[in-house]
Amino acid sequence: MFPLLILAAGASSRMRGLDKLAIEIDGVPLLRARVLAAMAAGARVHVALRPGDPRAALLDGLDAVRLEIAASEAGMGATLREGVARLPRARRFALMPADLPDLDAAAIARVFDAAAREDGTLIWRGASASGRPGHPVVCDAALRPRFAALSASSGGRAALAPYARQTRLVRLPGLAATRDLDTPEDWAAWRSQKVAKGYDPSPSPIKD
Protein backbone atom coordinates (compact mmCIF):
# COMPACT_ATOMS: atom_id res chain seq x y z
CA MET A 1 0.00 0.00 0.00
CA PHE A 2 0.98 3.65 -0.23
CA PRO A 3 3.33 5.51 2.11
CA LEU A 4 1.29 8.05 4.05
CA LEU A 5 2.56 11.27 5.63
CA ILE A 6 0.52 12.28 8.67
CA LEU A 7 1.05 15.95 9.47
CA ALA A 8 1.57 16.40 13.20
CA ALA A 9 4.18 19.16 13.37
CA GLY A 10 1.83 22.03 14.17
CA ALA A 11 1.94 23.87 17.48
CA SER A 12 -1.77 23.75 18.46
CA SER A 13 -1.47 27.51 18.80
CA ARG A 14 -5.24 28.06 18.90
CA MET A 15 -5.83 25.58 21.74
CA ARG A 16 -4.81 28.01 24.50
CA GLY A 17 -2.20 25.77 26.08
CA LEU A 18 -3.67 22.36 25.28
CA ASP A 19 -2.21 19.94 22.73
CA LYS A 20 -5.13 18.89 20.55
CA LEU A 21 -3.28 15.80 19.30
CA ALA A 22 -2.88 14.49 22.85
CA ILE A 23 -6.56 14.84 23.74
CA GLU A 24 -8.10 11.41 24.21
CA ILE A 25 -11.08 10.07 22.31
CA ASP A 26 -12.36 6.78 23.70
CA GLY A 27 -9.21 6.66 25.81
CA VAL A 28 -6.78 7.02 22.90
CA PRO A 29 -4.86 10.25 22.08
CA LEU A 30 -6.06 11.73 18.80
CA LEU A 31 -2.69 11.40 17.04
CA ARG A 32 -2.31 7.75 18.02
CA ALA A 33 -5.89 7.02 16.98
CA ARG A 34 -5.37 8.48 13.51
CA VAL A 35 -2.13 6.53 13.06
CA LEU A 36 -3.89 3.33 14.09
CA ALA A 37 -6.72 4.05 11.64
CA ALA A 38 -4.28 4.64 8.79
CA MET A 39 -2.38 1.48 9.59
CA ALA A 40 -5.62 -0.51 9.67
CA ALA A 41 -6.37 0.86 6.19
CA GLY A 42 -3.04 -0.57 5.00
CA ALA A 43 -0.89 2.56 4.92
CA ARG A 44 2.83 2.62 5.62
CA VAL A 45 2.63 5.48 8.08
CA HIS A 46 5.18 8.26 8.47
CA VAL A 47 4.49 11.02 11.00
CA ALA A 48 5.89 14.53 10.57
CA LEU A 49 6.92 15.95 13.96
CA ARG A 50 8.90 18.89 15.27
CA PRO A 51 12.39 17.97 16.53
CA GLY A 52 12.21 16.73 20.11
CA ASP A 53 8.42 16.87 20.09
CA PRO A 54 6.89 15.10 23.13
CA ARG A 55 4.13 13.94 20.80
CA ALA A 56 6.53 11.24 19.67
CA ALA A 57 5.71 9.36 22.87
CA LEU A 58 2.12 9.01 21.64
CA LEU A 59 3.45 6.68 18.95
CA ASP A 60 5.33 4.32 21.27
CA GLY A 61 4.90 0.70 20.25
CA LEU A 62 3.49 1.50 16.82
CA ASP A 63 5.11 0.55 13.53
CA ALA A 64 5.14 4.14 12.30
CA VAL A 65 8.17 6.08 11.09
CA ARG A 66 8.79 9.30 13.01
CA LEU A 67 10.10 12.09 10.78
CA GLU A 68 11.55 15.04 12.67
CA ILE A 69 11.16 18.01 10.35
CA ALA A 70 13.58 20.73 11.43
CA ALA A 71 12.05 23.23 9.00
CA SER A 72 8.50 22.75 10.34
CA GLU A 73 8.54 26.02 12.30
CA ALA A 74 8.84 27.89 9.00
CA GLY A 75 5.37 26.79 7.91
CA MET A 76 3.22 24.04 6.48
CA GLY A 77 4.91 24.24 3.09
CA ALA A 78 8.25 23.39 4.67
CA THR A 79 6.76 20.41 6.49
CA LEU A 80 5.18 19.11 3.30
CA ARG A 81 8.31 19.71 1.25
CA GLU A 82 10.63 17.92 3.65
CA GLY A 83 8.15 15.23 4.65
CA VAL A 84 7.26 14.16 1.12
CA ALA A 85 10.95 14.16 0.16
CA ARG A 86 11.60 11.60 2.93
CA LEU A 87 8.80 9.22 1.99
CA PRO A 88 9.94 6.00 0.29
CA ARG A 89 9.60 5.90 -3.48
CA ALA A 90 6.30 4.45 -4.66
CA ARG A 91 3.85 4.96 -7.52
CA ARG A 92 1.53 6.81 -5.11
CA PHE A 93 1.95 8.65 -1.82
CA ALA A 94 -0.66 9.96 0.58
CA LEU A 95 -1.10 12.90 2.95
CA MET A 96 -3.42 13.68 5.81
CA PRO A 97 -3.51 15.93 8.90
CA ALA A 98 -3.71 14.32 12.32
CA ASP A 99 -6.63 16.35 13.66
CA LEU A 100 -9.61 14.84 11.82
CA PRO A 101 -11.49 12.99 14.58
CA ASP A 102 -14.06 11.25 12.37
CA LEU A 103 -11.67 9.94 9.72
CA ASP A 104 -11.64 6.22 10.45
CA ALA A 105 -9.94 3.24 8.81
CA ALA A 106 -12.91 2.48 6.54
CA ALA A 107 -12.97 6.03 5.17
CA ILE A 108 -9.22 6.08 4.56
CA ALA A 109 -9.42 2.70 2.83
CA ARG A 110 -12.12 3.98 0.45
CA VAL A 111 -9.77 6.66 -0.84
CA PHE A 112 -6.90 4.18 -1.10
CA ASP A 113 -9.07 1.74 -3.03
CA ALA A 114 -10.01 4.46 -5.52
CA ALA A 115 -6.34 5.35 -5.97
CA ALA A 116 -5.45 1.76 -6.82
CA ARG A 117 -7.06 2.20 -10.25
CA GLU A 118 -5.17 3.32 -13.33
CA ASP A 119 -7.50 5.72 -15.14
CA GLY A 120 -5.44 8.83 -15.82
CA THR A 121 -6.23 10.42 -12.47
CA LEU A 122 -3.29 11.97 -10.60
CA ILE A 123 -4.96 12.95 -7.32
CA TRP A 124 -7.56 11.09 -5.29
CA ARG A 125 -9.04 13.11 -2.50
CA GLY A 126 -11.46 12.38 0.33
CA ALA A 127 -14.45 14.71 0.35
CA SER A 128 -17.41 15.42 2.59
CA ALA A 129 -20.76 13.84 1.78
CA SER A 130 -21.69 17.11 0.02
CA GLY A 131 -18.52 17.07 -2.10
CA ARG A 132 -16.24 19.52 -0.30
CA PRO A 133 -12.59 18.45 -0.83
CA GLY A 134 -10.73 17.19 2.22
CA HIS A 135 -8.51 14.31 3.28
CA PRO A 136 -6.81 11.96 2.91
CA VAL A 137 -5.15 12.95 -0.35
CA VAL A 138 -3.39 10.39 -2.51
CA CYS A 139 -1.02 11.71 -5.17
CA ASP A 140 0.64 10.06 -8.12
CA ALA A 141 4.42 10.02 -7.86
CA ALA A 142 4.50 12.50 -10.76
CA LEU A 143 3.56 15.22 -8.24
CA ARG A 144 6.70 14.83 -6.13
CA PRO A 145 8.47 17.73 -7.92
CA ARG A 146 5.51 19.99 -7.11
CA PHE A 147 5.97 19.32 -3.40
CA ALA A 148 9.73 19.69 -3.66
CA ALA A 149 9.18 23.22 -4.96
CA LEU A 150 6.86 24.40 -2.17
CA SER A 151 7.85 27.52 -0.28
CA ALA A 152 7.82 27.41 3.51
CA SER A 153 4.66 29.50 3.78
CA SER A 154 2.63 27.72 1.10
CA GLY A 155 0.31 24.80 1.72
CA GLY A 156 -0.68 21.71 -0.16
CA ARG A 157 -3.07 23.63 -2.39
CA ALA A 158 -0.13 25.14 -4.27
CA ALA A 159 0.97 21.66 -5.29
CA LEU A 160 -2.49 20.30 -6.07
CA ALA A 161 -4.20 23.26 -7.79
CA PRO A 162 -2.83 22.72 -11.34
CA TYR A 163 -4.35 19.23 -11.44
CA ALA A 164 -8.01 19.99 -10.81
CA ARG A 165 -9.07 18.16 -13.96
CA GLN A 166 -7.06 15.11 -12.94
CA THR A 167 -8.45 14.98 -9.41
CA ARG A 168 -11.10 12.51 -8.32
CA LEU A 169 -13.14 13.25 -5.22
CA VAL A 170 -14.13 10.28 -3.08
CA ARG A 171 -17.13 11.21 -0.98
CA LEU A 172 -16.96 9.98 2.60
CA PRO A 173 -19.68 9.93 5.27
CA GLY A 174 -20.71 13.24 6.79
CA LEU A 175 -17.80 15.56 7.53
CA ALA A 176 -15.22 12.83 8.12
CA ALA A 177 -12.93 14.21 5.42
CA THR A 178 -13.15 17.86 6.37
CA ARG A 179 -13.91 18.42 10.07
CA ASP A 180 -10.79 19.32 12.03
CA LEU A 181 -10.70 20.51 15.63
CA ASP A 182 -8.46 23.53 16.11
CA THR A 183 -9.90 25.29 19.17
CA PRO A 184 -11.46 24.31 22.51
CA GLU A 185 -14.76 25.57 21.09
CA ASP A 186 -14.42 23.20 18.11
CA TRP A 187 -13.85 20.29 20.49
CA ALA A 188 -16.80 21.21 22.69
CA ALA A 189 -19.14 21.57 19.71
CA TRP A 190 -18.00 18.24 18.26
CA ARG A 191 -18.51 16.47 21.58
CA SER A 192 -21.96 18.04 22.00
CA GLN A 193 -23.00 16.71 18.60
CA LYS A 194 -21.81 13.23 19.53
CA VAL A 195 -23.57 13.31 22.90
CA ALA A 196 -26.78 14.42 21.19
CA LYS A 197 -26.58 11.25 19.11
CA GLY A 198 -26.15 9.08 22.20
CA TYR A 199 -22.38 8.67 22.13
CA ASP A 200 -19.92 10.39 24.48
CA PRO A 201 -16.34 10.24 23.17
CA SER A 202 -15.21 11.97 26.40
CA PRO A 203 -12.38 14.06 24.93
CA SER A 204 -11.13 15.16 28.35
CA PRO A 205 -9.97 17.78 29.35
CA ILE A 206 -12.20 19.71 26.95
CA LYS A 207 -15.49 20.66 28.58
CA ASP A 208 -18.73 21.96 27.10
The mean pLDDT of 9-26, rounded to a whole number, is: 83
Has residue 167 been placed in a domain?
Answer: yes
Q: What is the CATH number for 7?
A: 3.90.550.10
Domain that holds residue 106: 3-179
pLDDT band for 202, please (50, 70, 90 cuts).
low
Has residue 184 been placed in a domain?
Answer: no
Has residue 197 been placed in a domain?
Answer: no
Is it the case that residue 49 has pLDDT exceeding 90?
A: yes
Has residue 193 been placed in a domain?
Answer: no
pLDDT band for 165, please (50, 70, 90 cuts).
very high
Tell me the per-residue pLDDT of 98-117, one tens digit each, with 9 for 90 and over. 999 999 999 999 999 999 98
Mean pLDDT of the residues in the chain: 91
pLDDT band for 176, please (50, 70, 90 cuts).
very high
Has residue 203 been placed in a domain?
Answer: no
Best-predicted range by mean pLDDT (123-132, 145-154, 157-166, 188-197): 123-132
What is the pLDDT at residue 203? 54
pLDDT band for 138, please (50, 70, 90 cuts).
very high
Q: SS3 sequence, the chain?
A: CCEEEEECCCCCCCCCCCCHHHCEECCEEHHHHHHHHHHHCCCEEEEEECCCCHHHHHHCCCCCEEEECHHHHHCHHHHHHHHHHCCCCCCEEEEEECCCCCCCHHHHHHHHHHHCCCCCCCEEEEECCCCCEEEEEEEEHHHHHHHHCCCCCCCHHHHHHHHHHHEEEEECCCCCCCCCCCCHHHHHHHHHHHHHCCCCCCCCCCCC
Has residue 185 been placed in a domain?
Answer: no
Has residue 146 been placed in a domain?
Answer: yes
pLDDT band for 131, please (50, 70, 90 cuts).
very high
Has residue 201 been placed in a domain?
Answer: no
- Per the structure, the count of domains in the chain is 1
Is it the case that residue 140 has pLDDT exceeding 60?
A: yes
